[in-house]
Amino acid sequence: MVETLNRKIYLIVALLILFGLGTGYILCEKDARVKEEKREAYKEVYDALQIDVEELVGEYGEDINVQDFVKSSVGDLTIEEDIDPDKPGDYIVTFILSDTEEQFDQEVEKKTKRIFTVEDTQYPEIEIDQEEILIRQGTETDLKENVLSATDPVDGDVEFAIESELDIDTPGEYEAKVVATDKNGNSSEKTFMVNVKAKPSLNAAFDQIYDYITQEMGLNSAAACGILANIRRESSFSPTAGTSYYGLCQWGGGRRANLQSWCGANGYDYTTIKGQLAFMDHELNTSYTTCLNLLKEVEDTEDGAYEAALIFVRRYEGAASAGDRASLAKTYFNL
């Protein structure tokens, strides 16, 4: 009787165990099926999140809105970026698409990373004054003065350099190349010609006077030719010409006495070209500064030489008539 009861109990327990195992298996299988359905539902929404963007390239110095590069998108779009438009380079942009999967109420998010490139494609612009400039042999010149501007659309004024094999002591034509570079290394070039014209030459006295005026006094060739035309008419380049009016510029009265005393006090022989040119330079820098300033302003052209001759005859020589001095100055300039 007892054995029969025990068998029944064991059977019931076994049946309960088997039932529990079966129920657990069914529940696990159902749970796995639900998880798979959730994964598939998530994946379906995830795959539907799409974005199409243009080439991600922006111009240096311009306002950049990454949203403007998006052609189309599916899902709610958020953009994460930290782009500095004033610094060329590559930047990471993250496009975040999101949506809600409704069956299981799942939040779905998809991130896409892209490279955004800021480029500087604009080059400096160079503006020059003249396509060809003329200088006299032996005359120092600053070629940068022929450059009006070198500017970048974003950076503004930029540094520039001039490359040239110019030899001011050798007549001929030389090319000068202006090279302007912006802060990002973009360079532009522009060229112009430099024509070194042989200095005018007539005779030894003429050459000595010309060299002193251009080299020691720093006046241009036109001003020198204007003065030379006056000296030619006053003394024919002879430092001992005349009696009451004496020397290259025919100094008379008190000015002749000043010539002698100044030369003696400063170690010059007043009867020489060198001494008289030094005295002329002294007078122009003291008593005749207006004349000197006007001579400094004349253009280095034949018209400038014409003007210089008239300035010198009226404001330094004080001659009653200019005669042909202005025309002679143009002739000397074109020697």
Question: DSSP string covering 184-250, please?
Answer: TS-EEEEEEEEEEEPPP-SSHHHHHHHHIIIIIS---HHHHHHHHHHHHHHHTT-TT--SSEETTTT
User: Do 254 and 288 reside in the same domain of the chain?
Assistant: yes
**CATH number, domain at 95?**
2.60.40.10
- The mean predicted confidence, pLDDT, of the chain is 92
Sign of the CA dihedral 62, 63, 68, 70?
A: positive
Query: Domain span at residue 193?
Result: 125-197
User: Do 230 and 268 reside in the same domain of the chain?
Assistant: yes
What is the structure's pLDDT at 14? Answer: 57
What is the structure's pLDDT at 217? Answer: 95
User: Do 220 and 161 reside in the same domain of the chain?
Assistant: no
Of the candidates 184, 62, 191, 57, the one whose C-alpha atom is nearest the C-alpha of residue 123 is: 184
Q: Structural domain tally of the chain?
A: 3
User: Do 209 and 319 reside in the same domain of the chain?
Assistant: yes
What is the structure's pLDDT at 136? Answer: 87
Q: Which residues of the chain have pLDDT under 70?
A: 1-6, 8-28
**CATH number, domain at 263?**
1.10.530.10
CA atoms within 13 A on the CB side of 164: 22
Contact 182, 152 (CB under 8 A): yes
What is the structure's pLDDT at 27? Answer: 55
Last residue of a domain, one of 137, 162, 197: 197
Cα–Cα separations (whole angstroms), residue 165 to 173, 174, 195, 208: 10, 7, 12, 28
CA distance 148 to 29: 85
Cα–Cα separations (whole angstroms), residue 195 to 149, 168, 198: 22, 9, 10
CA distance 200 to 335: 5
User: Do 113 and 129 reside in the same domain of the chain?
Assistant: no
pLDDT tens digits, 115-147: 999 999 999 999 999 999 988 888 888 999 999
Of the candidates 328, 308, 310, the one whose C-alpha atom is nearest the C-alpha of residue 319 is: 310
pLDDT tens digits, 16-30: 565 555 555 555 677
User: Do 99 and 147 reside in the same domain of the chain?
Assistant: no
Question: By CB neighbour count within 10 A (0-12 exposed, 13-18 middle, 19+ buried), where does 73 fall?
Answer: middle
